[in-house]
Amino acid sequence: MSMLGLLATTTSPMKLGEATSGGTFWMPESASTIAPEVDFVFDFINWINYIFFALVVLVLVWFAIRYKLKPGSRESFTPDAPTHNTPLELTWTTMPLLLVGLIFWLGMDGYLRLTEVPDDAYPVKVTGQKWSWIFEHPEFGVIEGGELTVPLNRPVRMIMSSKDVLHSVFIPAFRVKQDVVPGRYTSLWFEATRPGQYRLYCSEYCGMDHSKMLAVVNVLPEDEFQDAMGQLAREYEDIPDSDLPAYAMNRLYSRCASCHSRDGTSGTGPSFVGLWERTKNGTTVFTDGTTLKDHMGPGGEFEVPENYLRDSILNPQHYIVQNYMGAMPTFKGQLKERQVDALVLMIKNMDRLVDDQGNVIENPDLDGADISTGSAN
């Protein structure tokens, strides 16, 4: 394959879901109020570099030619070159000083703008955990995973924390980046100036699947944003039980995807393929040597197998499956009751939702599917 062809294939996944129009050679497209300021400082420093590079090379070449050692000149050489030139020395001291001072002032000004959050900023609570992003909208009671919907032309403040290790939010199109730290809050704000979809990356190496810790920022005009929030706030309530498995696959699986495959391959966690079969039959073995069967049945801890799945999602450290580590974060408080049901039903109906390669079936046939969660409802 040609070098160009190779580049084309390796760079194309980056463009996925990202509106890449409007970028320059150095910068990705810009879509926030702070972006032009950041780009200006970058360009300013870059041009200083270009100009001084050219200047230094030109003078170097000129001197090399002008003062080349000529045959016979060594004998007549007298060390009478100037040793001191006050105006020249003042110039080469003050000029860089002024330039560096200007760069500092521009940088400090931008930095202060980035740290001073406007009072009316729209709050979003961000939680990073290996290896996904959760976004909460306290004003609407909405929780999003892997996707963040924000209003256009309105300052948005992210209040961020981590459940495990250091992560970092980076939204290149907005020119903002901030660490996300366990045990404390950090914050970041931006105001999007163009509707569209933009990539959000984790930019702090946080373990094996760090590179999969991505999200999409969806910028919507105010009225569409209000509609979308209303819809998200109701989405799981309006869905009939029979559609819950497909809903979970389309809207919730992304929060499990970094660890649980849907094609049978084992990752940080066991694949969801075949999981229900194992659970139903109680054959899963735990690190404490017991088998799921030992805890099941009337009088047991899990009266019905569905309860084991529930428990695994809300209380993952309770039983650790053999050959795995207790790496799963709890989803307690992050999923509504009905969403936990939906995930249980998704796991139960995995074979109807995905094909043998693990691809999602577009309109799954769920006629006669088992949509009981086994619990009280």
Interface residues with Cu ion (CB under 5 A) are: 167, 202, 206, 213
Q: Does 270 bind ligand HEC (CB under 6 A)?
A: yes
Sequence letter at residue 183: G
Q: 252, 261 in Cβ contact below 8 A?
A: no
Q: How many CB atoms lie within 10 A of CB 377?
A: 9
Number of H helices, E strands in the chain: 9, 10
Q: Which two tokens stand for residue 332?
A: 């307690």
Q: How many CB atoms lie within 10 A of CB 82?
A: 6
> Please, which residues bridge with residue 218 across strands?
149, 197
Sequence letter at residue 357: Q
Q: 369, 349 in Cβ contact below 8 A?
A: yes
Rounded-to-integer distance, Cα 345 and Cα 267, Å: 21
Q: Which range binds ligand HEC by CB under 6 A, 78-86, 175-183, 269-277, 294-302?
A: 269-277
Q: Which does residue 206 touch among ligand HEC, Cu ion, none (CB within 5 to 8 A, set by kind)?
A: Cu ion
Q: Which does residue 232 touch among ligand HEC, Cu ion, none (CB within 5 to 8 A, set by kind)?
A: none
Using the CB atoms, write b or e for 87-107: b if 16+ within 10 Å. eeeeeeeeeeeeeeeeeeeee
Q: How far is the CB of 197 from Cu ion (least distance, A)?
A: 20
Q: Which does residue 202 touch among Cu ion, ligand HEC, none (CB within 5 to 8 A, set by kind)?
A: Cu ion
Q: Does 326 bind ligand HEC (CB under 6 A)?
A: yes
Residue of 269, 305, 364, 374 interacting with ligand HEC (CB under 6 A): 269
Rounded-to-integer distance, Cα 363 and Cα 359, Å: 12
Q: 305, 348 in Cβ contact below 8 A?
A: no
Q: Which does residue 260 touch among ligand HEC, Cu ion, none (CB within 5 to 8 A, set by kind)?
A: ligand HEC
Site residues (CB under 6 A) for ligand HEC, limited to 83-142: 130, 132
Closest CB to ligand HEC among residues 186, 322: 322
Q: How many CB atoms lie within 10 A of CB 56?
A: 10
Q: How far is the CB of 167 from Cu ion (least distance, A)?
A: 3
Q: Which range binds ligand HEC by CB under 6 A, 92-100, 215-223, 317-325, 348-356?
A: 317-325
Q: Does 33 bind ligand HEC (CB under 6 A)?
A: no
Q: Which does residue 160 touch among Cu ion, ligand HEC, none (CB within 5 to 8 A, set by kind)?
A: none
Q: Does 28 bind ligand HEC (CB under 6 A)?
A: no
Binding site for ligand HEC (CB under 6 A): 130, 132, 255-256, 258-260, 268-270, 275, 284, 309, 312-313, 316, 319-321, 324-328, 331, 343
